[in-house]
Structure 1
Amino acid sequence: MDPRRNVPRTDVVLADPRLAPAFVHSGRAAVKAAVVQTLDRVRSGELEPDEVIDAALAALPAGPRPVLNATGVVLHTNLGRAALSPAAREAVLAATGHTDVELDLTTGRRAKRGRTALAALHQAIPTAGDVHVVNNGAAALVLAATALAGGGREIIVSRGEMVEIGDGFRLPDLLESTGARLREVGTTNRTSPADYERAIGPSTGFILKVHPSNFVVRGFTSAAAVPELAALGPPVVADIGSGLLHPDPLLPDEPDAATTLAEGASLVIASGDKLLGGPQAGLLLGDAALIERLRRHPLARALRVDKLTLAALQATITGPATPTWQALHCDPETLRARTARVQAVLTAAGVESDLVESPAVVGGGGAPELTLPSWSLSLPPAYGALLRTAPVPVVGRVERGRLLLDLRCVPAESDQALIETVVLAASQAG
């Protein structure tokens, strides 16, 4: 008998209830294309007829996959930095439908876009004259440079602060793309207030102060502080990077928005998806007139955030402690006891592991010298790829020939999923 007679019809396969969730997530056209492709594989003898459904589902385009971050890096850029809080996730889900993002429900007229999120941010930093939000920290700096120094005006910046911000993007290139001119002052390791003062002239747009974030220069060094720069006259734009709104004793070397404004900065730029623990966003806080100038600039339209980001940002600011805050302030002994419980379950399942001390880090370009006392499960390094490609991917880090799984950033309710993934990896590794 011709084996092609056993190939099911396309409409029969599409009616299989196991494909119903795929219609919701991928759409009928994509599911049908995957089914047709899979049936061709059955006709060629590559697959058996009873494998059609699983193969069709596997052939559907995959979106970003949730992973368990067991790296010990709280703000892991490759894993999307900050994990949103449950409140922020609920807010995003609610915002996926129609919302009042630009509508006053009382009057029925158009309202200021994202006014409730902006009000929440302003309330969090009441000393700011006004606030604005764009789509990331680099965009905030570009908007400030374009609006305040575009058209050939000068930005005065220390040579020691001409940083690379990641993925090959460098601050000088970013700023010069706006049409502004850079006036570099000082040296790599030492820049004084007098260096800035000598550079001030009729073409000065503003003085830029950049927190290095992901590196530290030690030894014979000096840098001008924000109060010293504010006393020189031109506006001071301070890019603090990490998104810390208020001082945190855990992070004594990280600048925060409230303190930087109190020290005299005209504008503070920060990221929303780092220490703030929210969505990717660029926060602009400071002088009301300057904020309005930025808001009314034509480039602001191209850099505006969508309703989902606004919803997540507001919930992050007004809601309970974020996963980022919880991971940073996790009690080491509590973490040790939790890790030991997971190890005991693994041992009972026949998986050998060690409980080891292993320092965690902030990541995301924040607090580069800070280490967080932590504990990890130590496993053979061969488990790494097996865990990453599992149905519930678990990402750890390899250190000194061992795979370490730090539970600091893994939600406690995901411990069972992690255990099952490790047991599966152990069985595959033999």
Structure 2
Amino acid sequence: MNSQDPRRRIPRTDTLLASPVATAAVERLGSAVVRRLVTSAQDRARRGEIEPDRVPAVLADSLQQVRATQLRPVLNATGVVIHTNLGRAPLSPAAIDAVQTAAGYVDIELDLASGTRSKRGLAARAALLACCRSAEEALVVNNGAAALVLATTALAAGREIVVSRGELIEIGAGFRLPDLIASTGARLHEVGTTNRTHLQDYEDAIGPDNGVILKVHPSNFRVDGFTSAVSVAQLSELAARRGVPLVVDLGSGLLRPDPLIPDEPDAATTLGAGADVITASGDKLLGGPQAGIILGRKEIVDRMAKHPLARAVRADKLALAALEATLTGADAPASRALHADPDRLKERAERLAAAVGGEVVAHDGRVGGGGAPGVPLPGWAVSLPAGVASALRTGDPAVLPRVHGGHCLIDLRCIPEADDARLTDAVGAALGRPQPAEEVVRDERPS
């Protein structure tokens, strides 16, 4: 390399690493990532892709764009409020702030006044009991499946669990309730048929080896027509008379009745009807973090909390903080999306269509996440050519639309209004890219 070679002007590695932008990035990304980006910027200059004096600016831009996680933020334009593939419910600002607070040292199991150990998750427990006064006690574990596993293990390991055949559900990724319960060491005693189960079926099945009566809300499907099911109140009377606990798995995490989805069972009503324990998820209709919610009679919940498995499935400090903030703060984003005003959605869709083109069409959103199956959420969407969907998904920011009936539908129900400008820019950029000649058209909205 002669003295006139422009590559001699490429900044040294130690100089770049010592720059303020690089040293700040090390705290966020780690030294290995920063060093790799430094080398990449230098290599681009060596190949002649950029001028040597551009290396610091290119490095700064790269450091700004790189995230500490490979997870990418996505604008949810499907109209599905609880979208499992997108992480279910987005956290509220209060919950995000709570997670940041809990990221450091916190008094998760410490009484600061006395300096002694305290019970874990007291604040989240208190918030749950304040929101669901029908419950005597609360317990939080790491997800809804864990809540049900803990209930069946603590109350019926090695014994029978009576459950209706019509409630032996399968949810996403091939996850089946019978397999889950079998893993606990309990034995299923199925009663009734797929479409009809009667109180006498339960009565006949309960014997000295029975540990639990289990009722499961079939949250991701509906059976219509010639059907019959036994109510919680009926099962409660039977359970009390036969001396076995009644556990009800609600799934969706609705704590109180919601007139928008009247057929979706809630914790307060279910406990009021006589359930001993309910289990539910925290990241569905509750709108919080992934968590398993357990509410019910103190004697039963305490029995579950003392079981050795409770330690293995306990919630971490971030989930507990986010759950508390979700319960005590303003309406969560999922609730706002669920109850979005259709007229306002139409106004926003019309504004988007005026900026990027396309046609505003009526479009029903969905609750998603296995909640309120078949219940439409009236709204509007901007209809674009189906081929633009790929560019939207791979753009920055990434936008997930619904591809249906040969059209790419942009539904703003789950997009915060503060992101409308970002969405408009993203759609405009996607429309400006060359479209593929053919694209497999598929409905990208979960059922």
Give the one of 208, 212, 215 matched to 1:209. Answer: 215
Please give the secondary structure, in 2, of the residue aligned with 1:208: strand
Residue matched to 2:252: 242
Distance 1:58 1:420, change over 3 A: closer
Residue matched to 1:153: 159
Distance 1:236 1:17, change over 3 A: same
Residue matched to 1:135: 142
CA distance in 2, matches of 1:84, 1:201: 45
Contact kept in structure 1, 2:195 and 2:226, CA below 8 Å: yes
| TM-score, normalised with respect to structure 2 | 0.89
CA shift, 1:19, in A, is 3.7
Please give the secondary structure, in 2, of the residue aligned with 1:182: strand
Q: Deviations over 1:36-94 (max 9, x none)?
A: 46656766x49545466256777877432221111100000011111111111111112
Residue matched to 1:97: 104
AA at the equivalent of 1:426: L
Please give the secondary structure, in 1, of the residue aligned with 2:271: helix
Residue matched to 2:94: 87
Please give the secondary structure, in 2, of the residue aligned with 1:320: coil
CA distance in 1, matches of 2:432, 2:27: 34
CA shift, 1:105, in A, is 2.3
Please give the secondary structure, in 2, of the residue aligned with 1:71: coil
Residue matched to 1:72: 79
AA at the equivalent of 1:244: L
CA shift, 1:166, in A, is 1.6
CA distance in 2, matches of 1:384, 1:265: 46
Q: Deviations over 1:143-172 (max 9, x none)?
A: 01111111x111111111111122111111
Give the one of 326, 341, 347 matched to 1:337. Answer: 347
Residue matched to 1:264: 274
CA shift, 1:9, in A, is 2.8
Contact kept in structure 1, 2:366 and 2:376, CA below 8 Å: yes
- Are positions 1:24 and 2:31 aligned together? no
Give the one of 431, 434, 437 matched to 1:429. Answer: 434
AA at the equivalent of 2:202: Y
Contact kept in structure 2, 1:19 and 1:57, CA below 8 Å: no
CA shift, 1:314, in A, is 0.8
CA distance in 1, matches of 2:289, 2:417: 22
Residue matched to 1:400: 405
Residue matched to 1:297: 307
CA distance in 2, matches of 1:284, 1:416: 40
CA distance in 2, matches of 1:61, 1:84: 19
Please give the secondary structure, in 2, of the residue aligned with 1:376: strand
CA RMSD across the alignment: 2.1
CA distance in 1, matches of 2:36, 2:260: 53
CA distance in 2, matches of 1:421, 1:366: 30
Contact kept in structure 2, 1:34 and 1:57, CA below 8 Å: no
Contact kept in structure 1, 2:25 and 2:63, CA below 8 Å: no
CA distance in 2, matches of 1:206, 1:69: 40
CA shift, 1:427, in A, is 2.0
CA distance in 1, matches of 2:19, 2:396: 23
Give the one of 177, 182, 187 matched to 2:188. Answer: 182
- Are positions 1:282 and 2:292 aligned together? yes
CA distance in 2, matches of 1:60, 1:393: 14
CA distance in 2, matches of 1:311, 1:55: 33
Residue matched to 2:441: none
Residue matched to 1:169: 175
Q: How does 1:376-415 map to 2 (within 5 A)?
A: 376-415=381-420
CA shift, 1:33, in A, is 3.5
Distance 1:55 1:276, change over 3 A: closer
- Are positions 1:319 and 2:329 aligned together? yes
Distance 1:160 1:330, change over 3 A: same
Q: How many pairs does the alignment contain? A: 423
Give the one of 420, 424, 427 matched to 1:419. Answer: 424
Please give the secondary structure, in 2, of the residue aligned with 1:311: helix
Give the one of 302, 310, 323 matched to 2:320. Answer: 310
Give the one of 119, 138, 147 matched to 1:112. Answer: 119
AA at the equivalent of 1:387: L
Distance 1:160 1:291, change over 3 A: same
CA distance in 1, matches of 2:303, 2:415: 42
Residue matched to 1:15: 18
Contact kept in structure 2, 1:274 and 1:364, CA below 8 Å: yes
AA at the equivalent of 1:417: R
Distance 1:297 1:376, change over 3 A: same
Distance 1:260 1:60, change over 3 A: closer
AA at the equivalent of 1:315: A
Contact kept in structure 2, 1:382 and 1:429, CA below 8 Å: no
CA shift, 1:117, in A, is 1.1
CA distance in 2, matches of 1:30, 1:217: 53
CA distance in 2, matches of 1:17, 1:403: 44
Please give the secondary structure, in 1, of the residue aligned with 2:373: strand
CA shift, 1:218, in A, is 1.4
Contact kept in structure 1, 2:216 and 2:250, CA below 8 Å: yes
CA shift, 1:421, in A, is 1.1
Residue matched to 2:236: 230
Identity between Structure 1 and Structure 2 (%): 56
Residue matched to 2:197: 191
CA shift, 1:111, in A, is 1.3
Q: Deviations over 1:3-55 (max 9, x none)?
A: 76565432233234554553232111322144346656766x49545466256
Residue matched to 1:353: 358
Contact kept in structure 2, 1:38 and 1:56, CA below 8 Å: no
